[in-house]
A and B are shown apart, each in its own frame.
Chain A
Amino acid sequence: MEKSELVPLWEVFVRSKNGLSHSHAGSVHAVDAEMALQNARDVYTRRQEGVSIWVVPSAEIVASDPGDKDELFEPAESKIYRHPTFYDIPDEVGHM
């Protein structure tokens, strides 16, 4: 096949049961969304692993660069005052 005729890649997200969010399960190749759903069903839910599937073209996913990890996530590390345990309240007051 020509390079331009390769079967695209899709990311698969499965909701294991209602009440939980979809989580990434893996990927499949498929020519269109319909086939991607069918393939995802066959590959990732053979044992009732899910009640709902999302498929997304892999090329459409925008991800943060691991190289930017410190810049993006480290500033939160010093902001311990964002957590309830930062505050001193006498025990007898109890918590809400």
Chain B
Amino acid sequence: MYTQALNDPKSKATHIAAEDPVRNAKFMEKVSAEQRIEPNDWMPTPYRKTLVRQISQHAHSEIVGMLPEGNWITRAPTLRRKATLLAKVQDEGGHGLYLYSAAETLGVSREELDEQLLTGKARYSSIFNYPTLSWADIGTIGWLVDGAAIMNQIPLCRCSYGPYSRAMVRICKEESFHQRQGYEIMIALANGTKEQKEMAQDALNRWWWPSIMMFGPHDKDSTHSDQSMAWKIKRFSNDDLRQKFIDATVPQAHFLGLEVPDPELSFNEETGHWEIGPIDWSEFKEVLAGNGPCNKERIAAQRKKHREGEWVREAALAHARKREARKQQAKEAA
């Protein structure tokens, strides 16, 4: 089966993956030959664990990511922008669900994953712990945050784990709309009044560095990278992807007539790359440690949603059971 119904109390976990060098060698052979690993195939326990961690973190990020943007749905400046933002936020929810569904194929239940998010045990992308203070933030998020997500996610379409790679193909197709609608907002603001242009610049000032940090620590400090590369979960290093992002977005900022908030930013004629100044990792670590501007607010919102939806889930289940029982009775009577 594609997805194990692991929250079904009757089903037993079918994988008790005893670490086995022969099977592991076969597994690595398959991965190296670019063959995909599917849910019921044997896989090393750390591979499974890494995937559950990465995919669920990714799913949580999509779900939490609905909050900063949802903040502006009722205040979108035109009906066109409002319809777009609604569709985008709905997409983020959809992305979360594709990814939860991929994570569930690895033997973890949806309820466990929800629990990990609500108790703060699981992480999500630290970028969503920043507030959306003005309409320009919605443009900047689409342009930079979704832009960075695209850079990160395109290589994941070739990830060795089948369900994850298939979910990523679907997500990447939709992400392109997100990035373009964001940049379009920025064009409108950059070509608007003085105040609108200032708003765009202010948003860029606040989102630039957090976006740069979305690619994670420098390669030399990255703890999971080598193994993930060997397993072909990851294809490019953090620094390579970050550089690609910088090379793409600096000219885009200039096109808007905006200034990148980095006094050391310079173009290296020899390499053809834009070079940035040092990254302030202390801020990244603070946000990761739970001390970002919105960490508490985001988790509180997730908990509220879970708590207030409880009776709906219960009522829906009770209703379904009652209908099932009635159908059964009618069958017996007939």
Contacts and interface: CB of A to CB of B under 8 A. Distances in A.
Contacts of A67: 42
B125 to A, nearest CB: 21
A28 B2 contact: no
Nearest to B173: A47
**Residue of A27, A29, A66 with most partner-chain B CB within 10 A:** A27
B2 A7 contact: no
B308 to A, nearest CB: 15
Given A4-B9, A26-B167, A46 B91 contact: yes
A24 B3 CA distance: 11
Given A28-B97, A63-B40, A66-B41, A58 B316 contact: no
Interface string B55-93: 000000000000000000000000000000001001100
Nearest to A29: B110
Grouping DSSP codes into helix (H, G, I), strand (E, B) and loop, the B interface class, with mixed when no group exceeds half, is helix
A9 B7 contact: yes
A32 B8 contact: no
B94 A58 contact: no
Contacts of A28: 97, 101
B94 A24 contact: no
Contacts, number: 85
Nearest to B98: A26
Interface residues of B, number: 38
B319 A31 contact: yes
B167 A9 contact: no
Interface in A1-48: 1, 3-9, 11, 24, 26-29, 31-32, 35, 42-43, 46-47
A6 B111 contact: yes
A42 B96 CA distance: 13
Nearest to A67: B42
Contacts of B174: 47
Contacts of A65: 40
A76 interface: no
B104 to A, nearest CB: 7
Contacts of A5: 314, 317
A46 B97 CA distance: 13
Contacts of B323: 32
Interface residues of A, number: 30
A59 interface: yes
A61 interface: yes
Given A4-B9, A46-B91, A63 B1 contact: yes
A3 B185 CA distance: 47
Contacts of A58: 1-5
B100 to A, nearest CB: 9
B116 interface: no
A1 B40 contact: no
A45 to B, nearest CB: 10
Interface of B: 1-5, 7-11, 38, 40-42, 87, 90-91, 94, 97-98, 101-102, 104, 109-111, 166-167, 174, 310, 313-314, 316-317, 319-320, 323-324
20 contacts: A1-B111, A3-B9, A6-B7, A6-B109, A9-B110, A26-B98, A27-B2, A27-B104, A28-B101, A31-B316, A31-B320, A32-B320, A32-B323, A43-B98, A47-B174, A58-B3, A59-B5, A63-B2, A63-B40, A66-B41
Given A8-B5, A59-B11, 11 more contacts: A1-B111, A4-B9, A6-B111, A8-B7, A28-B101, A31-B316, A32-B320, A35-B320, A59-B5, A61-B2, A65-B40
